[in-house]
């Protein structure tokens, strides 16, 4: 069968500033929460490898853009580092950073690769975290100022902006489950962080609209379809709660301009509503986006919680649902994540039927693999499993598009093996293998497959 995608379909991949830039790290930018945390608790990072050890995009950006071209990318998403552009988050703009990002943006365009730019991909300037991070409304305003500065500096050439990448992740990681700085476990504070992030997003959108910049603005959300274990109403309710907390807490504000009423009720019932100001609902209503980026890795399987939760524990999502390991589910054998290709279709159909079929694209999808060197054959990683992973998802994406879903592209995570939050190089995702010691780049078999697929705007199978 032939899978042909619409004309001008976006083929590419995504990356982020902190995970790739590396060099110039301690000299030409402000400290971020990741530097701070790594300096204090290196043992929390796989093999104690910190974010300075990357593919050094700051130095190799020209070579890497050539590689993107070789992979037939027509688009590429990366993020700007707030701490590089404005080292203390709120003060003077760093001219070196402006030069760097101008060079990257210009070179991408020169090579026929449309830049997609994210403003915040998990890397909070430490100076902002020191005054409370997203818990502090002053940081919301500082972020809105940073966003406006970026639109002014690069908005004549960047036509696809994203306010945040996966904003729920710093909420979960930093304030619920202790896998990001500041390692807090407190639902009330998590709810405030999530709420202020929505406000920050909306204020950036307001600044974008007010400036009448040329392009469009969106957000990138990691959507995890929540499938109940059974048709039992208790399981269904649990899945609904997971969906409200982890998908709709961002999806509804950015597409509908308001929170789901049942999420507000739920938080009220448990006395966990964050503090709001009168003007906030108007601000959030103005935060509606033009383009949604969807990161999809795996679904969430949910069941009713039948075990007893310690009633003395502060309120946590675990009160409302339990994750469930569905027997027989297909797993990534090289990393413990489920592979469920139809999930990508379910997300698109939900957006089409319940959210007015917004302009969207897959902004990340990817397969992490441990010890990938074991698959080297004749000097190249033969990652057929990744080709199967991508084509499996593309088929369901294709089905969604043929049924009217407004999906405009597919970006993989990621183009070159990169440093990952706490996992460092434990799981590799790239189309290009990175030798960290020598910085040698070698295209994997999946990279060659993707280049051909992008060139043909589809594939046969």
Question: Annotated catalytic sites, by residue?
Answer: 364
Q: 229 vs 181, 237, 322, 325, 388, CA distance in Å?
A: 33, 11, 10, 9, 27
> Which residues from 81-100 bind ligand BGP, rule CB under 6 A?
none
| Residue facing ligand BGP at closest CB distance | 420
> Which residues from 245-304 bind ligand BGP, rule CB under 6 A?
295
With respect to ligand BGP, which residue has the nearer C-beta, 33 or 295? 295
Dist CA 453 CA 459 (whole Å) = 6
With respect to ligand BGP, which residue has the nearer C-beta, 56 or 94? 56
- Cβ(82)–Cβ(119) under 8 Å? yes
- Which listed residue (21, 31, 235, 364) binds ligand BGP by CB under 6 A? 364
With respect to ligand BGP, which residue has the nearer C-beta, 19 or 94? 19
Nearest to 270 by CA among 245, 235, 295: 245
Q: Residue 303: in which H helix or E strand, if any?
A: strand 300-303
With respect to ligand BGP, which residue has the nearer C-beta, 19 or 75? 19
Q: Does 453 bind ligand BGP (CB under 6 A)?
A: no
- Which listed residue (75, 81, 118, 222) binds ligand BGP by CB under 6 A? 222
Q: How many residues bind ligand BGP (CB under 6 A)?
A: 14
- Which listed residue (28, 423, 439, 456) binds ligand BGP by CB under 6 A? 423
Which stretch in 30-38, 268-276, 342-350, 413-421 sits in contact with ligand BGP by CB under 6 A? 413-421
Q: Does 166 bind ligand BGP (CB under 6 A)?
A: yes
2-4 vs 380-381, strand pairing mode: unpaired
Q: How many CB atoms lie within 10 A of CB 61?
A: 19
Nearest to 263 by CA among 255, 254, 273: 273
16-26: b (≥16 Cβ within 10 Å) or e: bbbbbbbebbe
Site of tokens 């994750």: 323
Q: Does 332 bind ligand BGP (CB under 6 A)?
A: no
- Cβ(94)–Cβ(56) under 8 Å? no
Q: Does 21 bind ligand BGP (CB under 6 A)?
A: no
Q: Does 74 bind ligand BGP (CB under 6 A)?
A: no
Q: Residues in the site for ligand BGP, rule: CB under 6 A? A: 16, 19, 165-166, 169, 222, 295, 364, 368, 413, 420-421, 423, 427
């Amino acid at each position: 069968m032939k899978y042909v995608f619409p004309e001008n379909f976006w083929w590419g991949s995504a990356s982020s500033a902190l995970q790739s830039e590396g060099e110039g790290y301690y000299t030409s930018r402000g400290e971020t929460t990741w530097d701070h945390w790594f300096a204090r608790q290196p043992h929390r990072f796989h093999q104690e490898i910190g974010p300075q050890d990357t593919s050094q995009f700051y130095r190799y950006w020209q070579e890497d853009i050539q590689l993107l071209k070789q992979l037939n990318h027509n688009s590429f998403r990366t993020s700007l580092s707030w701490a590089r552009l404005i080292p203390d988050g709120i003060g003077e703009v760093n001219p070196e950073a402006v030069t760097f990002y101008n060079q990257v943006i210009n070179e991408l365009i020169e090579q026929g690769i449309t830049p997609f730019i994210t403003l915040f991909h998990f890397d909070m300037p430490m100076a902002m975290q020191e005054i409370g991070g997203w818990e502090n409304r002053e940081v919301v305003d500082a972020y809105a100022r940073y966003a406006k500065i970026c639109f002014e500096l690069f908005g004549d050439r960047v036509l696809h902006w994203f306010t945040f990448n996966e904003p729920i992740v710093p909420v979960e990681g930093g304030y619920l489950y202790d896998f990001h700085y500041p390692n807090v476990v407190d639902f009330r504070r998590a709810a405030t962080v999530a709420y202020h992030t929505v406000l920050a997003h909306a204020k950036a959108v307001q600044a974008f609209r007010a400036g009448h910049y040329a392009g469009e603005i969106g957000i990138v959300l990691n959507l995890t379809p929540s499938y109940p274990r059974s048709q039992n109403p208790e399981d269904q309710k649990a899945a609904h709660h997971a969906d409200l907390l982890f998908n709709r807490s961002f999806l509804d504000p950015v597409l509908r301009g308001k929170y789901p009423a049942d999420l507000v009720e739920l938080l009220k019932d448990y006395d966990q509503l964050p503090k709001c100001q009168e003007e906030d609902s108007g601000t959030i209503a103005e935060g509606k986006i033009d383009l949604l980026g969807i990161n999809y890795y795996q679904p969430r399987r949910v069941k009713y919680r039948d075990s007893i939760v310690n009633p003395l524990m502060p309120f946590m999502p675990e009160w409302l649902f339990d994750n469930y390991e569905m027997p027989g589910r297909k797993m990534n054998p090289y990393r413990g994540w489920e592979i469920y290709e139809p999930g990508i279709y379910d997300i698109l159909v939900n957006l089409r039927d319940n959210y007015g079929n917004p302009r969207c694209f897959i902004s990340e999808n990817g397969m992490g693999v441990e010890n990938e060197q074991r698959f080297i054959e004749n000097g190249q990683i033969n990652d057929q499993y990744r080709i199967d992973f991508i084509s499996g998802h593309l088929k369901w994406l294709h089905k969604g598009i043929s049924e009217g879903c407004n999906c405009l592209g597919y970006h993989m995570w990621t183009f070159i093996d990169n440093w990952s939050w706490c996992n460092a190089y434990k799981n590799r995702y790239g189309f290009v293998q990175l030798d960290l010691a020598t910085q040698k780049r070698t295209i994997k078999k999946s990279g060659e497959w993707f280049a051909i697929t992008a060139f043909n705007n589809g594939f046969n199978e």
